[in-house]
Amino acid sequence: MKVFVKRGDSYQEFEVPRQPSQTVLDVVTYIQRHLDPTLAYRYACRVGMCGSCAMMVNDVPRWTCRTHVDKVAKGDRITIGPLRNLPVIRDLVTDMREFFDKWARAKGEFHGAQTKKDDFAKVPPQSPERVLVDKGIECIGCGVCYAACDVVKWNPDYLGPAALNRAWTLVKDARDNQTLARLRAVSGDAGCHACHSHVSCTERCPKHLSPTAAIAGLKREVAKAVLQGDL
């Protein structure tokens, strides 16, 4: 199989033997171990839990450890590159700092009012608020949705689907007391209203989450807060 790996501004071609049940991560690992030890890439769990192996495969962002070559190879060729919309450190390794800085800008951290002396908060699993974020809290921050989003490409300031999904889970968290500050943080030009509802993030999320729905929820909450005179 011919494998084209993006390295800097150009692609380097490698010949990699096909194997049964071979994943794209297996291909990258084969290249690094047998053909070019200088190839830089990142992975950890190899079982779809950490999200660190995300790359562009034939121009589509994917977890490479969960992507079988048989499913994505075009003929006997495959193209692999670093995640889109992020600065590249080297070869297939991207710098995730701006991705997580945006989580901070979207107030993606929990602020509770209770102290350790208080009893545990009880959030019934079937409560409407909890059900709304049931899927969203499973995000592992892999950056696949961020790489899939054209609005991030056009407007690098845009907070993006993952940070906004995170903000949504906290807006609906009954224990958190920073809802208005968070809605303010996500309501600017680079926030939820910049989303064009293209749904690419939702189509690509390997965990089948829906950042698009989360962002629509944020838009509704922001509108409600504005009508109530809170924002």
Distance CA 159, CA 152 (A): 8
> Nearest to residue 147, comparing CAs of 98, 104, 182?
98
Of ligand SF4, ligand FES, none, which one sits near residue 27, judging by CB under 5 to 8 A according to partner kind? none
Find out whether 58 and 4 touch, Cβ atoms under 8 Å: no
How many residues at the interface with ligand SF4, by CB under 6 A?
A: 27
CB of 1 to ligand SF4, least distance (A): 27
Kind plus residue range of the DSSP H or E element containing 224: helix 211-227
The verdict on 147 binding ligand SF4 (CB under 6 A) reads: no
Of ligand FES, ligand SF4, none, which one sits near residue 53, judging by CB under 5 to 8 A according to partner kind? ligand FES
Binding region for ligand FES (CB under 6 A) out of 48-56, 71-79, 100-108, 145-153 = 48-56
| Of residues 107 and 166, the one with the C-beta less far from ligand SF4 | 166
| Of residues 14 and 146, the one with the C-beta less far from ligand SF4 | 146
Those residues whose C-beta lies under 8 Å from the C-beta of residue 160, and which sit 6 or more positions away, are 85, 99, 102, 145, 146, 149, 151, 152
DSSP letters along 83-97, please? PTTS-EEETTEE--H
Residues that bind ligand SF4 (CB under 6 A): 51, 139-145, 148-149, 151, 161-162, 165, 195-201, 205, 207, 209, 211-212, 215
